[in-house]
Amino acid sequence: MSVRPAWEVRESEGTTRWFEFRLVFPDGARVDALVVVGGGCVRVEEVRAQPALSLDDLGMLADWIEEAVAGACGAGPEDGEGPGRRARPAWPRGAEGRRLVAREYRAAQRDGADPVLAVMGATGHSRRTTLRLIGQARDAGLLTPRRARR
């Protein structure tokens, strides 16, 4: 996988950065993506794939580029760690961990930031793991239940 900074815009509220990602698979398949990082969130703006991605593969795109986004933003592996390994902050397990997840989530909501990204940043876990931790905090009654979708 290759990551290349495309451009950066600095504003009084912060910095928005665009990155170009290229994933090349052993069978010759290729995925190019333009990703925007800013305002407390990460957005995939454009995806081109040859051959076309299935819906399942498109859903996995975030997992494929997660480490590359963290590395491009300065949150990549620490020196001395093996490839593909990221340093994670120490995060308690069990009830204490659920309380901290709930605290980070509510603080992000108050600040108008994306609560899932805030918990991801605090825990160092992937989006999938973070959503599971948030669900555990909800189940423990530390966060309000999700609204039912109709």
Tens of pLDDT along 46-103? 889 888 877 777 767 776 776 667 666 665 444 334 334 444 556 777 888 899 999 9
Token code pair at residue 9: 């815009």
Q: Identify the residue whose tokens are 């504003």.
A: 11
Q: The whole model's pTM is what? A: 0.45
Neighbouring CB atoms inside 10 A of 134's CB total: 22
Phi, psi values for residue 52, rounded to 5°: -60, 145
pLDDT score for 92: 78
List, edge to edge, every strand of the sheet that includes 14-24: 2-11, 14-24, 30-38, 41-50
d(CA 38, CA 11): 11
Q: Is residue 49 a contact partner of residue 29, using CB atoms and an 8 Å limit?
A: yes
Report the percentage of the chain scoring pLDDT > 70: 77
Neighbouring CB atoms inside 10 A of 137's CB total: 22
pLDDT score for 76: 43
- Structure confidence at residue 23 as a pLDDT band (50, 70, 90): confident
